[in-house]
Structure 1
Amino acid sequence: MAEEEEKEEEEESPRRPSAMRALLPLLLASAASAAVIGIDFGGRFLKVGIIQPGAGIELVLNEASKRKSSAAAGFNSQGERVYGDESQNLLGKLPQQQFVLAKLLLGKPVDSAEVASFTEMLHPYEFLHDEDTRAALVRHGANETFRGEELVAFVLSYAKQISEAHAGSAIKDCVITIPPYFDHIQRAAMINAAAIAGLNVLSLMHENTAFAFKYGFDKESEFSPEPTNVVFYDLGATSFKVSVVSFSTTVGKKNKTTGAMSVLGVACDETLGGRFFDQVVLDILADKFNEQLKGDDVRKHSRAIGKLRKEAERVKDVLSANQQFQVAVESVHDDRDLRMVISRNDFEERAEAAGLWARLRAPLAEALRQANLTKEEVHRVEVVGGATRIPRVKEMAKEFFGRPQLDASINGDEAAALGATLYAAKLSTSFRLRDFAITDAFPRAINIRLAGGEEVEEEGEAAGKGKDKLLFKANSKFPHKKLITMTRAEDLFVTLAYRDDGSPIASFNITGVGAAVERMAKDPTKTQVGKPKVSVTFALTSNGLLEVSKAELALEMLEKYDDFELVPSNDTSAAPAAEPNATANGSNGTNSSGMVKVKVERERKRLHYTTLAAAKAPLGAVLPINASHVAACIARNKRMLADEEARRRDAEVKNALEAFIIDTRDRLGDEAVGVVSTEEEREALRALLDAAEEWLYEEGRSLGAPAYASKKGELDGATAPLLLRLSEMEARPAVVSKAREAVNWTRTILAAWAEERPEVTAAERAHAAAMCDNFTAWLDGVLEEQAALPAHAPPAFLSAAVTAKLEPLEKEVRRLIKKPKPKPKKPPANATNGSAANGSATNGSAANGSATGGEEAAADGEEPDLPKHDEL
């Protein structure tokens, strides 16, 4: 039987990020840092928060200036990839090519309930089995398939693009929210999806933890050492999640009081979300529309269902605020419209028949049980998630907690994105945030099993051979490490699995034990005295993934070593062992007390440590994609991005050409244009612009940027002379006026400098004055030439020439202005504050005891010529 002991290791947790007390002033960043983003990847909507160096936290607006976008991506009729709301709007026309709810496919096989729900809810997707990973693939077209990671990467690529457009710089680092129930394969798949999109995941973050972090950040001043227990009631598009979080304050270093939060319980229902309520409305609409069909079912027609699905989502939202709604959908199928009135009561009755309302109670009760709290010990109930807007959903929570009202002190649409963004800023080295401790909880317990039937013991209870041992209990804080130590002389093979359903997570093959023991046994100076002990440290990372962070062998050995000791020189038994050349106190090995140093052999016990190798192999119904899969997906995504950039560039140049044609043609009718052109010239340009417009909308309709740029170049060449005359006519008076002002100002200061600036010589002033005269003569000459020309003739000179001609004069004046004044001369060495030693006075014995102007006094009592100066 192997002896086994375990102990927990505390880890400095990156899930204890600091938070800010105020959004803007306390965000400090280095000037060379990059922005980070937080992505709330919901089932229906995508929200992105951003923090930039020197700025605050805000939500990213999409190209339509909206704060949230549809979490959808797909392809239009030309096969071009589209994102967000553009993809959502194509659901009614091209439902097979628009991919929604993509994150449900992460880490799921074809026969899973999640994949089956797509068919049950009438999504027209065809799924295939991936032989490499055993995950579901989605068919697109005749010969193309996409992994779930790629479809999620499409949406993340969109998040990256709108963030970079917002920031004006590249975005790399992010935090992404995920549901707490995601297993290891789903978490790894989300990280791989981010890599495909070109993002680096600083950490994944549970959705409710992101809500709680933002809540705690906003409410920190209200907390005290006494815990405040808050329930986060989150009914999103795909699932129902309930978290119980305790908020308090703690006193840390230097008696500094900071906020803290700890997740006490998490309960989820993965198959209860807003989409199931959407399906209830969809069924009502489909049943009503089927009354118009003769034996046919609209559910068989994907385009019709796509239209009704969009309407169902809208109807559900409207009924959250109204008792009834008039539905009107044109051309649903076979040129038939749908017109009906649906009431909130109709909706609630169908949802009741589907058993949806009753399922809201169980997660609430389970979360409280995990937190070991009663309903009365809950201080606040915060509702978040889009589907909590449904009135009956709120009523169920009120009934459960016995409260007249629920709390809604944070923006449920935005708080998760902003909480994730704050966490990204904490993990980034570019920002420093106010301390706010976070202790998150991993909801599932994890078992460990040793291969070979070794006996495993659980704390407080004995277990037979081959049974699993609890490694991490449910709701363990994470990131977290646990150290397992066992007596063992052979290599170790362990398997980790979830405790609730036994599904495997990964295996670890710990090798090097036997080789290390054998190597030590061959050393003649060492003898094994203890049993070898293997220590393995398992890490539950901030992403919720399991790794072996350290594995080592400890072997206690009895080893021999040489030592020396002093013995009496007359000790004949020890004398033979004396070192022949050793000395003590410098007297031939014998010290003053008659002692001699003798070599002796001793023994000691010593622990020897050997680092072991730990090879991980993922387990489960689905395997994560490998490096080659990721590389192939990255390459395909880059090709799509390159195509999109080319189309964007084409559209940009095409739009610029179109705008130029329209704008220039409109300007041809301006009065100012009529002054600088003839009617014949204008008519010729109109004909040229009309022809270019016709070309743009016909044969040039689908050409690329080079063709549009070439056409723009032709038009630029044809219109440039007229536009130049126009711009010169408008700019010339102001340029000439400013030039004359500059010359007049120069002449004025040159005259003043004759008395005030003796350091500027007469020759320098004369040179600058001559430059003024030369410039004025040139300007008068070209203005005379211009006056003699008709307005539609090429200009005699350009405004830019005036500026260039004036520049040497300006440069010379700047040089003279910067010319330093002469330094004052030092007084003679024998000068005093009174009279000089030879009887000649200094310059008047000034009140401050110094000679004025730095001039020496004149000899023989003559007064010196004093420099003129302004009176003070």
Structure 2
Amino acid sequence: MRALLPLLLASAASAAVIGIDFGGRFLKVGIIQPGAGIELVLNEASKRKSSAAAGFNSQGERVYGDESQNLLGKLPQQQFVLAKLLLGKPVDSAEVASFTEMLHPYEFLHDEDTRAALVRHGANETFRGEELVAFVLSYAKQISEAHAGSAIKDCVITIPPYFDHIQRAAMINAAAIAGLNVLSLMHENTAFAFKYGFDKESEFSPEPTNVVFYDLGATSFKVSVVSFSTTVGKKNKTTGAMSVLGVACDETLGGRFFDQVVLDILADKFNEQLKGDDVRKHSRAIGKLRKEAERVKDVLSANQQFQVAVESVHDDRDLRMVISRNDFEERAEAAGLWARLRAPLAEALRQANLTKEEVHRVEVVGGATRIPRVKEMAKEFFGRPQLDASINGDEAAALGATLYAAKLSTSFRLRDFAITDAFPRAINIRLAGGEEVEEEGEAAGKGKDKLLFKANSKFPHKKLITMTRAEDLFVTLAYRDDGSPIASFNITGVGAAVERMAKDPTKTQVGKPKVSVTFALTSNGLLEVSKAELALEMLEKYDDFELVPSNDTSAAPAAEPNATANGSNGTNSSGMVKVKVERERKRLHYTTLAAAKAPLGAVLPINASHVAACIARNKRMLADEEARRRDAEVKNALEAFIIDTRDRLGDEAVGVVSTEEEREALRALLDAAEEWLYEEGRSLGAPAYASKKGELDGATAPLLLRLSEMEARPAVVSKAREAVNWTRTILAAWAEERPEVTAAERAHAAAMCDNFTAWLDGVLEEQAALPAHAPPAFLSAAVTAKLEPLEKEVRRLIKKPKPKPKKPPANATNGSAANGSATNGSAANGSATGGEEAAADGEEPDLPKHDEL
């Protein structure tokens, strides 16, 4: 990969941006900070990826990532995984049903407001899919801020390309709940492709390089065909470019379905130990087996067989068995999983209008592609002995999204690399009546349904449609493949504008009114009306003036005072007169129209009040988490102090500065504090721990002070004496070398040295007379403070400027050689002396240096 530091330039005040690869199983976060390159964010355990899970522990405290994943075996109903699948889905959807089919112990409810599925938590609490996704995004924000040491706001989030408008809007709302601003959503395979192209730009040429990205993730299977090339842009600069040619997906084929195959094998084997019971009925047991199934699947990717050992699965029974890769592949074959890998490959090539031979590379990405048979299927399809894996399939999507965030952010300047993404679904426009519709660049046509955006349209993109209409109109957008509605737009102001024009006596309508609507397919894959206006052609009357012969009796003179030239009656010198005439002209009048959007579909997006309520609940949880973090921090500091101080009481140095009675009393105090911490104070907050720490600080402070003083005193005293000796040395040298330092100033500094030495000798004598366990006669800090006035005085003297040399009298300078040589000196007897004096005046004294002054 090219070095990114020369490519990423940021202002000093700019903020970091992140790219979030929100997978079904794992979460990866990339970051770019001002003045630094791109890197992956490490979580609190210094891992480069975290579980995309969130939930609650046995105390009802929210937990994230791997901590939540690890509780699946104990508290499966309180750990929420695969939350992304719930976005924009009703209770009766296949996605929600799959949770039950795959033995996740969640209870779903119907949301009356949005018709989406809610997840029950406890007796009286429910969560929206957006909230559960926001939990994970909050975790991404937290670890990013810990990594950067600053606040994080802007991000790019990856999504599957098959997400519809409700799912896309739900992901943006989830980010808002988590306190993030989405610069853009980005298709997962496009993020892989951008990272790939950005790294390999130097290998491209004007001739396209066609690359297939073969992505089997945890929840779905995605295939993209991307063309890479170079283009010559402004100033003949060659830049890289990528264009997505085809996208095909299987939304219900992912790594979790292969996990389920292994889980069924383990469950069937364990059921042999049960008499008529089924382990699938017991959520905690299934949670344990599910965790083991994921591990077994990963191990079988590198081994032919594996010895499974899971203790206390259910009813104090263990599971022990050997599972082979062949067993796994046969079960997956019976489930029809392998065969389903072919169809998306063929469809993506068909959309790209490419043959297998025209594909230059097949890049394998996604965690489930580690399964050997998955790779073999791709090799068979393309007729290749090997597939390509030139990018890190675990991390490239997060890093690609991060690069895209830097590209969109105003805080960074990324080198040019053009991205043309494809929106996989075609979109129709439906009109309320049979108006004539004309698309930009296409002939007019009538009909209620018309293609607005074709499948694999590039986006972001805008499309202008024009229709003849004299009244307000109602437009509905829907997906072409299944007819499911997206949104309606009520475009108003047409009738009012036509009526207003009709009332103007100076204007007459000609032709039919035309309504133009510009639809925008945004970078998030959402549809908006960016502009709507009415064009009305009117024939309007206006006054004009023309010159006619003055003898034309049919023409009346112009009735305006400035119309005359040389004659009082408006006649000019050529015998012409200006007269007023009425003329007509055609003009187009434009009126901006209002376009009110109403979302449609089986599920509606949450509204502003829903978002606000979710934000408030998330903030309460974050505040609770911060309080617990602070409690834990202060509690850990107290615990560490108790342990460390008790250990130090056995040190030889501590024995010197304390008595056995004092040490025993402190040990008893520390033991009592430890007992309090683990019993009475176990669940208290930071104030109680800080108070207890204060008590211990007060009790141990005298001993610790004597210890620190005993250790620090010799070095401080030694340095002080060195400073005094050095001062005395330079004062003696300055008597000849620094005449600007007066004798009185030198005497004053010498007296300061004497006073300090006398004081130091006195306190040292007092200290020597005291036992080591007695309070010290003086503190090391007092030595430094007592020496400071002397150091300040010496610094002043060192900086004292030298006196300027005296100028010779003017008459001596201008005198003759005969009577002025005594003053100025001749070349024979005076110039050498004068030159030596000038040199002496101009020299800097060679002063000794001392670090303490």
TM-score (norm 1): 0.92
Change (3 A) 1:857 1:382: closer
Q: What does residue 380 of structure 2 align with?
A: 399
Change (3 A) 1:860 1:822: closer
Shift of 1:516: 1.1
What are the ranges of 5 or more consecutive residues in structure 2 without an aligned counterpart?
Answer: none
Change (3 A) 1:419 1:225: same
Task: Give CA deviations for 1:2-34 in whole Å, capped at 9, x if unaligned.
Answer: xxxxxxxxxxxxxxxxxx942334321111111
Shift of 1:219: 0.7
Q: Secondary structure at the residue paired with 1:706? A: helix
Shift of 1:485: 1.4
Shift of 1:581: 4.8
| Distance in structure 1 (CA, Å) of the matches to 2:141 and 2:849 | 71
| 8 Å CA contact 1:830, 1:836 repeated in 2 | no
| Distance in structure 1 (CA, Å) of the matches to 2:350 and 2:833 | 94
| Distance in structure 1 (CA, Å) of the matches to 2:187 and 2:850 | 78
| 8 Å CA contact 2:557, 2:577 repeated in 1 | no
| Distance in structure 2 (CA, Å) of the matches to 1:365 and 1:800 | 80
| 8 Å CA contact 1:187, 1:545 repeated in 2 | yes
Q: Secondary structure at the residue paired with 2:451? A: strand
| Distance in structure 2 (CA, Å) of the matches to 1:861 and 1:280 | 93
Q: Secondary structure at the residue paired with 2:808? A: coil
Shift of 1:215: 0.5
Q: What does residue 190 of structure 1 align with?
A: 171
Change (3 A) 1:754 1:428: farther
| 8 Å CA contact 1:834, 1:845 repeated in 2 | no
Shift of 1:849: 16
| Distance in structure 1 (CA, Å) of the matches to 2:136 and 2:48 | 15
| Distance in structure 2 (CA, Å) of the matches to 1:210 and 1:124 | 33
Of 22-31 and 100-109, more deviation after overlay is shown by: 22-31
Shift of 1:527: 2.4
| Distance in structure 2 (CA, Å) of the matches to 1:397 and 1:848 | 104
Shift of 1:434: 1.1
| 8 Å CA contact 1:38, 1:174 repeated in 2 | yes
Shift of 1:851: 12
| Distance in structure 2 (CA, Å) of the matches to 1:40 and 1:223 | 26
Change (3 A) 1:162 1:844: farther
Q: What does residue 324 of structure 2 align with?
A: 343
Task: Give CA deviations for 1:281-310 in whole Å, capped at 9, x if unaligned.
Answer: 000000000110111111111111000000
Shift of 1:104: 0.2
| Distance in structure 1 (CA, Å) of the matches to 2:739 and 2:41 | 62
Change (3 A) 1:273 1:857: closer
Change (3 A) 1:340 1:866: closer
| Distance in structure 2 (CA, Å) of the matches to 1:780 and 1:88 | 67
Q: What does residue 605 of structure 1 align with?
A: 586
Q: Secondary structure at the residue paired with 2:837? A: coil
Q: Secondary structure at the residue paired with 1:577? A: coil
| 8 Å CA contact 1:825, 1:855 repeated in 2 | no
| Distance in structure 1 (CA, Å) of the matches to 2:268 and 2:76 | 20
| 8 Å CA contact 2:437, 2:465 repeated in 1 | no
Task: Give CA deviations for 1:69-104 in whole Å, capped at 9, x if unaligned.
Answer: 111111111111111111111111111111100000
| 8 Å CA contact 1:579, 1:598 repeated in 2 | no
Task: Give CA deviations for 1:364-403 in whole Å, capped at 9, x if unaligned.
Answer: 0000000000000000000000000000000000000000
Change (3 A) 1:818 1:601: farther
| Distance in structure 1 (CA, Å) of the matches to 2:541 and 2:841 | 106
Change (3 A) 1:785 1:42: same
Of 215-224 and 613-622, more deviation after overlay is shown by: 215-224
Shift of 1:827: 8.0
Shift of 1:771: 2.8
| 8 Å CA contact 1:840, 1:861 repeated in 2 | no
Q: Secondary structure at the residue paired with 1:609? A: strand
Shift of 1:462: 9.2
| Distance in structure 2 (CA, Å) of the matches to 1:847 and 1:238 | 104
| Distance in structure 1 (CA, Å) of the matches to 2:804 and 2:90 | 89
Shift of 1:702: 1.0
Shift of 1:819: 3.5
Change (3 A) 1:746 1:861: closer
| 8 Å CA contact 1:826, 1:854 repeated in 2 | no
Q: What does residue 158 of structure 1 align with?
A: 139
Shift of 1:603: 3.2
| Distance in structure 2 (CA, Å) of the matches to 1:286 and 1:256 | 61
Question: What is the aligned counterpart of 2:403 among 407, 418, 422?
Answer: 422
Q: Secondary structure at the residue paired with 1:712? A: helix
Q: Secondary structure at the residue paired with 2:96? A: helix
| Distance in structure 2 (CA, Å) of the matches to 1:864 and 1:797 | 38
Of 372-381 and 807-816, more deviation after overlay is shown by: 807-816
Shift of 1:257: 0.9
| 8 Å CA contact 1:569, 1:575 repeated in 2 | no
| Distance in structure 1 (CA, Å) of the matches to 2:261 and 2:485 | 36
Shift of 1:556: 2.0
Q: Secondary structure at the residue paired with 1:449? A: strand
Shift of 1:531: 2.3
| Distance in structure 1 (CA, Å) of the matches to 2:842 and 2:42 | 86
| Distance in structure 2 (CA, Å) of the matches to 1:860 and 1:410 | 72
| 8 Å CA contact 2:564, 2:570 repeated in 1 | yes
Change (3 A) 1:708 1:589: same
Task: Give CA deviations for 1:97-148 in whole Å, capped at 9, x if unaligned.
Answer: 1110000000000000000000000000000000000000000111110000
| Distance in structure 1 (CA, Å) of the matches to 2:830 and 2:382 | 91
Q: Secondary structure at the residue paired with 2:838? A: coil
| Distance in structure 2 (CA, Å) of the matches to 1:646 and 1:392 | 49
| Distance in structure 2 (CA, Å) of the matches to 1:350 and 1:865 | 90
Q: Secondary structure at the residue paired with 1:792? A: coil
Of 579-588 and 424-433, more deviation after overlay is shown by: 579-588
| 8 Å CA contact 1:578, 1:596 repeated in 2 | no
| 8 Å CA contact 1:558, 1:604 repeated in 2 | yes
What are the ranges of 5 or more consecutive residues in structure 1 without an aligned counterpart?
Answer: 1-19
| 8 Å CA contact 2:91, 2:110 repeated in 1 | yes
| Distance in structure 1 (CA, Å) of the matches to 2:472 and 2:231 | 45
Change (3 A) 1:578 1:842: farther
Of 576-585 and 322-331, more deviation after overlay is shown by: 576-585
Of 678-687 and 812-821, more deviation after overlay is shown by: 812-821
Shift of 1:468: 1.1
Q: Secondary structure at the residue paired with 1:247? A: strand
| Distance in structure 1 (CA, Å) of the matches to 2:61 and 2:849 | 82
Of 345-354 and 532-541, more deviation after overlay is shown by: 532-541
Task: Give CA deviations for 1:419-456 in whole Å, capped at 9, x if unaligned.
Answer: 11111111111111111111111111111011123355
Change (3 A) 1:818 1:696: same
Question: What is the aligned counterpart of 2:315 among 313, 328, 334?
Answer: 334
Change (3 A) 1:861 1:637: closer
| 8 Å CA contact 1:836, 1:842 repeated in 2 | no
| Distance in structure 2 (CA, Å) of the matches to 1:804 and 1:100 | 62
| 8 Å CA contact 1:320, 1:391 repeated in 2 | yes
Q: Secondary structure at the residue paired with 1:185? A: helix
| 8 Å CA contact 1:843, 1:851 repeated in 2 | no
Of 824-833 and 238-247, more deviation after overlay is shown by: 824-833
| Distance in structure 2 (CA, Å) of the matches to 1:824 and 1:252 | 69
Shift of 1:773: 2.7
| 8 Å CA contact 1:521, 1:528 repeated in 2 | yes
| Distance in structure 2 (CA, Å) of the matches to 1:568 and 1:826 | 99
| Distance in structure 2 (CA, Å) of the matches to 1:628 and 1:868 | 71
What are the within-5 Å matches in structure 2 for residues 47-62 of structure 1? Answer: 47-62=28-43
Q: Secondary structure at the residue paired with 2:362? A: strand
| 8 Å CA contact 2:439, 2:465 repeated in 1 | no
Shift of 1:753: 3.5
Task: Give CA deviations for 1:768-797 in whole Å, capped at 9, x if unaligned.
Answer: 333333322222222222222111111111
Shift of 1:218: 1.1
| 8 Å CA contact 1:128, 1:136 repeated in 2 | yes
| 8 Å CA contact 2:14, 2:411 repeated in 1 | yes
Task: Give CA deviations for 1:243-296 in whole Å, capped at 9, x if unaligned.
Answer: 000011111111111111110000000000000000000000000001101111
Task: Give CA deviations for 1:342-376 in whole Å, capped at 9, x if unaligned.
Answer: 00000000000000000000000000000000000
| 8 Å CA contact 1:228, 1:246 repeated in 2 | yes
Shift of 1:50: 0.8
How high is the sequence identity, in percent, across the aligned residues? Answer: 100
Of 823-832 and 473-482, more deviation after overlay is shown by: 823-832
| 8 Å CA contact 1:319, 1:344 repeated in 2 | yes
| 8 Å CA contact 1:841, 1:857 repeated in 2 | no
Task: Give CA deviations for 1:178-198 in whole Å, capped at 9, x if unaligned.
Answer: 000000000000000011111
Change (3 A) 1:577 1:111: same
